[in-house]
Each structure stands twice: as C-alpha cells, then as structure tokens.
Chains A and B, each alone.
Chain A
Amino acid sequence: MIRYLICTISLVMFLAGSALAADVIIVNRNNPINDISSAQLKNIYNGRIKFWDNGTKIIPLDLVDDNPSALRFANVILGVDLETKRRFWMQKLYAGAGTPPQQETNYTKVISFVAAEPGAIGYVKKENATSAVKLITVNGKLDF
C-alpha cells in the first residue's frame, strides 16, 4: 500500500513537473494566426520564412542559451542542440545569408517585445504568459 502511494505521488509530481516545464508560443495580440505547424515554426527560426501571410515581417525572438526554455525549444522544435543551432547561424551570418533571432535574457522581455511588435513571435514558459500577448497552438497543441 505504501509502495503504491509512493509510486502515485512520484507520478503526480513527475507529471506536475512536466506541466510546469511546458513552454508556449506567443505572438502579438493583433496577429490573426491561431495555430502554426512545427515545420513552419522551425522555418521561421531558421530564417527561411520571413513574412506572415498578411505581409508583416516576422521578428522571431529567442532566449539566451542558459535559459532552460532555449534548450527545450532547440531540442523539440528545431531538432538540434544549442551548439548546432549556434553553428548553423554562424555559417549563415558569415555567408551573408541572414542574422540569428534576437536573444532576450528573460521571459518578461520576450513578452514586452512581442506585445509591442506586430510581427514578433516568441516562446515563454506557460505560467509566465500574460494577456498582453496571444498564445497560439503548435500542430493543435498549446504547449510543447
């Protein structure tokens, strides 16, 4: 019985931990988009998609590498580790093929920027998202 209880508590704590770790994609409140595919998101952050469907320039925002969400985003959405992501952008930058997304130091700065810029997109921890920005789903799911 005690073993069962410990297992149940551990499972609940694990699930709660996972939920707390979840990140969400945010855009400006005036952006008409509600859902984005993971491939589109990857292409935005790889510099391959530059404009929203309405012609507004996309400004992707990244977080600094030591933020846990940055690693999660690189692993889950971009499918690479942070080092590979950095090297990818270094090659593009020095070939004149694009500049990497602006990196912010914390979630508050990402939210402020996205709230102010019509074309901005970013990612923050779910519990940090505020009503100043719009949450959109990725392949129909709110968090990743």
Chain B
Amino acid sequence: MKKLFILLFLIGMAFVPATVMAVSMDDFKLNGFIDLEYEKADGPGHPLTPVGDEKGSFDQLHFNLLMEFPVNNQLTVKGHIEFEHSPKSAEGSQTGEINVEWAYLEYSLNNSMMLRGGSFLTPIGIYNEIHDATATYNSIRIPWGIYRADKIGGFAMFPKFGTGINFLGNHSSDGDLEINYSVYILNGENTVKNDAEKDDNSNKAAGGQLMLSPISGLIIGGSYFTGKKGTAEDDHSVWIGTLDYSTNQINIRAEYASSGLNDTTETGWYSELAYRIKSVTPYIRYGTLDPDTDLNNDKWTEIVYVLNYEIKPGFIVKLENRHFGGEANNSKVSENYNELGASVNVAF
C-alpha cells in the first residue's frame, strides 16, 4: 500500500511540466500573523518544576510569514516560516525558535484530488494545522488536553509536523453533503535526525483524516495516525473523533483523543462553546487529559473563559482566564492554579 502511494505520487509529479521560467511576482501571495501575549499565574502548578508564570511575562509569541507561488494552473509552491518567541542567535546560545511550518509543492489533479509533497503540518483534528494561527481561534491557547499533552504530564499524542506525501481532496454533492479527506505517508517521528532529511527507522508513519458535513454547519469526522517513533521504534498511534457545529453566531465543538505509546495509553477531550455578538465573542472551554489510563490520580483539567474582541477584521484582542487542575501523580501539573492571559493578534 505504501509503495503504491509513493508510485502514485511519482506518476503525478511526472505530469508536472518542467518549470525553469521565472514566475510573475503578480501571482506571489504573502500573508502572515503576529501576536503579543501577557500571562500571569497565581501559583506554580508544580512544587519542583513550576509551569505557571507567577512573575507575569510578555511573550512575543508568533511572527509568521506564509508564501504561495502558483507555478501554473495545477502546481503551487507553498511555504510558511515561523519566528517563535522572537528568536535570537548568538555564539554558543540561541533563544526562541525558527521553524519551517510547511514547505511543499501541491499539485491539483482535478476538483476532488490534490497531491502534496514536502513538509507539512500533520492533518489531525481541528487545531493542528492552525495551531500557531492564533487569530483563527477564539482562545489564546488551543486545547492542550489533546494538542499539547506533552506539556501537562503526558506524551505528545502525534507529531505536529511531517515530511512525506499527502493525498487530499473533497467531494461535494448538489445537496448539503460535503466530504473532506486526507491520507499521508511520512518519515514519522524522529528522536535523532531531522525528519525532514532522514528517517530514524525504515518504517514509514501513515495516517488519514475524514470529515463529513451532512448538513450545512455540521462536521463529524475522525483522524488517525500510526508509526514507529525514533531509533527505538516505539509503537505510537492516535485517533481523534471530531464534532463541530456552527452557525453565523454559535460554534459548538468537541473532540476526543486516545493515543498509545508502546504500553501506555493516554486520553484527552475537550468541549467548547462560542457565541458571537457582532465583534465580541464570549467563549468557554472545558478540557481534560488522563496521561496514563493505568495510573490513578494523574489527571489534568482546564476551564477557560475568554472574551474575544475583533476590533477590526484581522485585529483581535483576547482576555482569558484559565483554571488548571492537577492531581498529585501528574508529573507536570500536580497543583491547581489560575492564570490570566491577554493577547493582541493581527492577521495580514
């Protein structure tokens, strides 16, 4: 199956005309986003390794640039570079991060099928592909119970990025039914080498996503990923169920995830509700993570209240209160604490 997938990609690429010519800059598209955050916690969350920021800090979190270059009607080159925490590089030290979030070529076979090759964000759940684009969601942080389990006592449920081939597309009927699908094969999660260059092992990771919209505004779907992690070839898999309903004013969303790393299983879920009144959107979320289903007293929970105010299109201010609950056996958050957050987000 994997060999067939690779063969199909190579055949697809064979149809791409050789393009050595310069492409008109008229077709080049540049977008991006930037955000500044402030957060202050009223407790450390853990007595030995604090996770809550009690001092209160500004964080220039994202400055991201997205580029798109249509080479011809079928082929597009896309790139996304991230400067996270305003990175600085000096001899012997580096702060912040510079990431290529994605760099791939995308070939449209027809209205229903596209082929991507390169590095891209793993198509998992609702949030992974937009996890940095804070202007696109109501809260300051995405639901960590699924998307950042490694920060709250669990292990990362899936790799955020991957390098390989992605076959994706959609099907629409003349009625309301819409189907979006995505299947991919990747180098997988590495622990030693850069996975965008070489694989740590000879097993390729694979996954897929299917999102159905039976009626306007409703999305029901699932995502799956499986692979061998690093040189130790640990078995790693995850599946996520997604439910999303939205109208012009209301958005109700819930996701459940279960991930296995060798013999450890962790589960997480969240549900959220947003109600837009003109430019202001109050939002509430409850989320939880059980980092090891065989271990007691290790759960993490969050209740998040947000006021999202879009001053002008693409210029957003958010105020957020997060209450975190941590049980004694959780390795990262073993005490309850409260955190206030504020952010300014601009998308351009």
Contacts and interface: CB of A to CB of B under 8 A. Distances in A.
Interface of A: 37, 39-40, 43, 48-51, 56-57, 79-81, 83-84, 86-87, 90-91, 93-97, 99
A39 B170 contact: no
A78 to B, nearest CB: 10
A51 B108 contact: yes
A43 B129 contact: no
Contacts of A90: 133, 135-136, 314, 347
Interface in B18-50: 29, 31, 33
Given A51-B108, A90-B314, 10 more contacts: A39-B172, A48-B111, A49-B172, A56-B73, A57-B73, A86-B313, A91-B130, A93-B31, A96-B121, A96-B129
Give the interface centre of B33, B73, B121 by most chain A CB atoms within 10 Å.
B73
B91 to A, nearest CB: 35
A84 B248 contact: yes
Interface in B133-179: 133, 135-136, 170, 172-175, 178
Interface string B242-284: 0000101000000000000000000000000000100000000
Contacts of A37: 174
B122 to A, nearest CB: 12
Given A39-B172, A80-B248, A90-B347, A96 B110 contact: no
Which 3 A-B residue pairings sit nearest by Cβ, starting from the closest? A94-B133, A95-B129, A57-B73
Nearest to A85: B248
B29 A94 contact: no
A96 B78 contact: yes
A94 B173 contact: no
B323 interface: no
Interface string B116-136: 000011000000011001011
B66 interface: yes
A48 B130 CA distance: 19
